[in-house]
Structure 1
Amino acid sequence: MPGARLTHEDRRQIAASLDDGLGYAEIARRLGRPTSTISREVARNGEPGDYRADRAQYAAARRAPGVAS
């Protein structure tokens, strides 16, 4: 799945995993994604210690017009 956009479900799993205290590398392994994808996603769509899946999905959809959210 590398190269494909993150889905809302992916973002929910990232948020839940961060809440559980998992690191980016472990989250990436669980999602089958590169660690850099997870770190960029959190940096781009989160705030320090506060990544929210719904907010991240909304922001991603706004950046990519024409892509269903």
Structure 2
Amino acid sequence: MNKANPIRIQRYLSGVDYPQTRDGLVRAAEHNGADAPTLEALRGLPDRMYEGPSGVSAEIGGDS
């Protein structure tokens, strides 16, 4: 997965109710007009429940 900007991704996830599944995050980002790199990054997340924005950002940021 390409490194994506977690801040940009959170902008597209505005209004998401957590906990949320990966597919739910993708749907929310699509609804909010996310660009292709953002959607690609979200689709590349592990298929699990995300408890909040920090968990999404940590996963996308590679915990580096």
Same structural fold, with TM-score higher than 0.5 when normalized by the shorter chain: no
**Higher normalized strand content (fraction of residues):** 2
Structure number with the higher helix fraction is 1
Larger-Rg structure: 1
TM-score (norm 1): 0.39
